[in-house]
Amino acid sequence: MTRLLIAFSASAVIIGGVTGLPAPAEAQESSIADIVVFGNDPCPRSTDDQIVVCRRVPESYRYRLPEAYRPSGTRQQKQAWASKAKSLETVGATGINSCSPVGPGGFTGCLTQVIKQARQENRERNQEGVVPEPQ
């Protein structure tokens, strides 16, 4: 009986001590503002009802697209429609330097076409892992 009374009184003291602690910062009325600051720009001061957290980035990032809006995916998915449409320019081409089996001298453009395609693939392979430099 004595042990039970001691256990109850100890738990009452612990519960009373926990409820007497101040509320954590998240439960209070203040709000947190996360601000991006570029270069040497000053960070705004915190007020009584608002906490200001500044994240400083280099000045060269000021006019860049935010990472959430930057195009993502493979190089083929990011390719512009204009360059995709450029391949349609040679559709139906026949004759000299056309690389087609139709017309006289149609075979003469095949080597040129293969060389251009190999150079383009090599350029894309080299640029695939390169990150664009900030301006």
Q: Is residue 9 part of a domain?
A: no
Distance between CA atoms of residues 86 and 30, nearest Å: 57
pTM of the model: 0.34
Q: Is residue 53 part of a domain?
A: yes
Q: Is residue 14 part of a domain?
A: no
Instruction: Judge contact between 106 and 96, C-beta under 8 A.
Output: yes
Give me the mean pLDDT over the 84-102 stretch.
73
Q: In a 10 Å sphere around its CB, with 0-12 CB exposed, 13-18 middle and 19+ buried, how is residue 100 labelled? A: middle
Tens digit of pLDDT for each residue in 39-72?
Answer: 999 999 998 889 999 999 999 889 888 888 877 7
Q: Dmax of the chain from CA atoms?
A: 113
Count the domains in the chain: 2
* Residue 45 lies in domain: 24-70
